[in-house]
Amino acid sequence: MKKNLQTTFSTRQKMLEPDFEIYYYEDTSQNFHYANVNPHTHNYYEFYIFLEGHISMDIEGVSHPLVPGDILIIPPNTKHYAKLLDNSIPYRRFVFWISQDYCNKLFNISSDYVYLIQRVLTTKQYLYHYDIIGFNTLQSKIFRLIEETHANRFGKQTKVQLCLKDLVFHFNRSIYEMEQKNKKYEENALYENILLYIEDHIDEDLTLDHLSEIFFVSKYHISHVFKANLGISVHQFITKKRLRLCKDAISFHTNLTEICILYGFKDYTSFFRAFKKEFGMSPKEFKELSVKTKEKQG
């Protein structure tokens, strides 16, 4: 992998450039001892992109075993160090440093450049993972930037800045889209599980507060998920489902009050109003219509 772009590893943890520095390191069994770095902090942001090796990254006392495709975003003043677990395979990674001043300049251009940094600072989630396709795209952008920093072509500084901004923006966009995809998957799973729960407990307490306790999420989140999937509230969905069950049962029961209680209505009055609003006739009128229809058919 582009051996000519590799950098000799240095234990230096201080930026020499004002905006950014980026390195491609590979350590083999012969020089693994050079890769050992003591726990440290620095005053810039570090993007650590893991390629290969048996490594665990310790961040603020928490160990993060790494697999190819992992990236770590380490903010300023955050203690960390890489633990080399064994030297059976080469240890390869990209290390991308970006100064706080440059981040502020990017923020003044657009907050889209610092979404990920702000997310890490807020959530303390340092580790993210790319699938193979996403990781290959990321690598190509990193190599493009490294190549430009090593080149001596017309407009070098302009091109470097373009590649730098493109890389930073790509980090933000790709991880934002990954997070949204995961969020959508989690919301779909929650939605389907709530539907199954409602199906199995239609005659029980199904208030938002109760569902919130059962599924350990806020009632506002449940409301959002239902509105997004069905366009109606949880209460409306449950009421409609109960009414359809009541309607199906009316033809086989004589006592309307028993039916409404059986399917979760607290009293006949609320059942009566909901039924008439939904179907345009009272439960009694519907029962009488059902009886006449059966008589005609039979």
pLDDT digits (tens, 9 = 90+) for 133-191: 999 999 999 999 999 998 889 999 999 999 999 999 999 999 999 888 878 777 888 88
Q: 179: how many CB neighbours lie within 10 A of its CB?
A: 15
CATH 2.60.120.280 intervals, the chain: 3-183
Condensed to tens digits (0 to 9), the pLDDT of residues 198-250 reads: 989 888 888 999 999 888 888 888 898 888 888 899 999 999 999 999 988 88
What is the residue whose two structure tokens read 């050992």? 36
Tell me what pLDDT residue 36 has. 66
- Regarding the domain delimited by 3-183, which CATH topology (the fold level of the hierarchy) does it fall under? Jelly Rolls (2.60.120)
Contacts of the segment 279-288: beta carbons below 8 A, 24+ positions apart:
279/243, 279/247, 283/246, 283/250, 283/256, 283/259, 284/256, 286/247, 286/250, 287/250, 287/251, 287/256
The mean pLDDT of the chain is 88
What is the residue whose two structure tokens read 């920093």? 149
- Has this prediction a pTM greater than 0.75? no
CATH number among 1.10.490.10, 1.10.10.10, 1.10.10.60, 3.30.56.10, domain 201-298: 1.10.10.60
Q: Are 10 and 89 in contact (CB under 8 A)?
A: no
